[in-house]
Amino acid sequence: MMKKLTLALVGVAALTGVVHAGLKASYPVSINTNLRTALGGLATARASANPNTHIGCYSSVTVNPAASYYGYCQARDDQGVNAACTTTSPELVEQMARLQGDGRLQFDWDASGTCVRIIVQQSSTQAPKAP
């Protein structure tokens, strides 16, 4: 019975020409200055028709003579709204360093512009970067 059902489904897919290759999602850069949060997919920002849209982080760790941490995240959405934050928190800088080129990023900041939360998501649903 299972073999017949599988063959029937394959036959229907062949007749309709429908082929699905997995869930795909787009994550445009979104900034809410009232809530002090910015989020978006790096690949989606890169593929934006607006050449100024971007999102990402920079992180740096110096170990000599003593460990020091610095991180900076910034974003600009399609409407030209900018957001940025900085941190010296080792945990947040390490989280920034986990961000990969096809990842999704969210960063939140306080009233002084200090990063208070970094969320990095890597998932097969995210599109790869395109030129």
pLDDT tens digits, 106-120:
999 999 999 999 999
Sheet hosting strand 82-87, strand order edge to edge: 54-62, 68-76, 82-87
Q: What is the pLDDT of residue 115?
A: 98
pLDDT tens digits, 48-97:
999 999 999 999 999 988 899 999 999 999 999 999 999 999 999 999 99
Q: What is the pLDDT of residue 131?
A: 61
